[in-house]
Amino acid sequence: MTDRAGPGTAGSLPRRGLLAAALAAPLASPGLARAQAGPGAATGTAAGAAQGADWPNQAIRYINPYPPGGSTDTLSRLWCQKMTEVTGQQFVVENRGGSGGDIGVEAVARSRPDGLTVGLGGIASHAISPTLKASLPFDPAKDFTFATGLWKLPNLLVVNNDLPVRTVPELIALLKANPGKYSYGSAGPGTTLHLSGAMLGQLAGLDIQHVPYRGAAPAMIDLIAGRVQFMLDNIPGAIAQARQGKVRALAVTSAKRSPVAPELPSLAEFLPGFDIVSWTCLIAPAGLPPAMVARMNALSKRALESEDLKRSYFEQGAETWWATPEEVAAYRVQQYERLRPLIIASGAQQG
């Protein structure tokens, strides 16, 4: 999934070492945790509880809060295509990009809670933005029903071919021996690409420079050209560049190795506690009837566990991720609490 792009200027990574312990154990966030009551908040009579058990009985609008053409769009359309097959109703993708995803996510939150509008939520809108931005046009906990997980994909640590390293320990040793000399590119402040680099600097105790770009593509161009020395890019784009020999892949950012590139170690094998993945979930406005939420989850489970969708996701560098509504809601809170101190220490906060 392509992260939000944003402007910025290069700067050194501040407060090294501040988060090594914090990353291993989530911090308390009473406000958001208390607000997160879970999906299907509506209550009522037995008749009300059964409302939506026949979902979907007409076409469904799926809002993707990012522009068409990227991996997020591809993965969304693959899921919608499979859901159309599973349910017999059309799932129509509507791309509503802008403001780093806020416009599309707000559109989901403000839609009628009738199950006819759903959309894409995830790490950017529901775990990073609440800390990154001074204000949001939606409440990431109260304004949504979390219906199911959709997919997860790690970032890939890649280096310029001229950098004299072939393993993570060699890279860390080079960076430690040359404080402030080397830089990494990202798709913008507060993206998972930036935060992966920030986490690397924090856990390894490195003095490295962050160079934000307006998207991952220009950052990759500069990495290949040697204007930045390494990058932690979403795996779909980065693995293609590595397999073409344009950059050298060293590791993935997930806690475990990725089945997409099982030959590559995870950064956690060298830096315990390292774990950042781009994850997404199916969101709908708050207040959907519980029976409807249960139906959404069950049908999505059928889609996500189908072998053809798993294979299609694998080809895009992603893994299907089915989870119950309660699991998604709890995971969102855990991710918010875990990433909040990293975002603050990285200096990426806006406003």
CA gap 260, 314 in Å, rounded: 6
Query: What count of other Cβ atoms lies within 10 Å of the Cβ of residue 192?
Result: 30
Query: What count of other Cβ atoms lies within 10 Å of the Cβ of residue 327?
Result: 16
Pairing state of beta strands 209-212 and 183-186? parallel
Residue 181 has which token pair?
């000399």
**One-letter-per-residue 3-state SS of the chain:** CCCCCCCCCCEECCCCCCCCCHHHCCCCCHHHHHHCCCCCCCCCCHHHHHCCCCCCCCCEEEEECCCCCCHHHHHHHHHHHHHHHHHCCCEEEEECCCHHHHHHHHHHHHCCCCCCEEEEEEHHHHHHHHHHECCCCCCCCCCEEEEEEEEEEEEEEEEECCCCCCCHHHHHHHHHHCCCCCEEEECCCCCHHHHHHHHHHHHHCCCCEEEECCCHHHHHHHHHHCCCCEEEEEHHHHHHHHHCCCEEEEEECCCCCCCCCCCCCEHHHCCCCCCCEEEEEEEEECCCCHHHHHHHHHHHHHHHCCHHHHHHHHHCCCEECCCCHHHHHHHHHHHHHHHHHHHHHHCCCEC
Q: How confident is the model at residue 12 (pLDDT cuts 50, 70, 90)?
A: very low
- Quick: pLDDT tens for 189-246: 999 999 999 999 999 999 999 999 988 999 999 999 999 999 999 998 899 999 999 9
CA gap 104, 95 in Å, rounded: 8
The whole-number pLDDT of residue 350 equals 75
Q: How confident is the model at residue 330 (pLDDT cuts 50, 70, 90)?
A: very high
Domain 26-152+277-346 matching CATH 3.30.70.20: the answer reads: no
Q: CATH 3.40.190.150 spans which residues of the chain?
A: 26-152+277-346
CA 176, 180, 182, 186 torsion: positive or negative?
Answer: positive
- For the chain, percent of residues with pLDDT exceeding 70: 86
Q: How confident is the model at residue 34 (pLDDT cuts 50, 70, 90)?
A: very low
The whole-number pLDDT of residue 24 equals 39
CA gap 120, 157 in Å, rounded: 26
- Quick: pLDDT tens for 232-291: 999 988 999 999 999 999 999 999 999 989 999 999 999 999 999 999 999 999 999 999
Q: Is 90 exceeded by the pLDDT of residue 22?
A: no
Bridge partners of 185?
211, 231
- Quick: pLDDT tens for 39-53: 333 334 344 447 788
Q: CATH 3.40.190.10 spans which residues of the chain?
A: 11-23+154-269
Q: Is 50 exceeded by the pLDDT of residue 332?
A: yes
Topology of 11-23+154-269 in CATH? D-Maltodextrin-Binding Protein; domain 2 (3.40.190)
Q: What average pLDDT does the structure give for the chain?
A: 87
The whole-number pLDDT of residue 351 equals 56
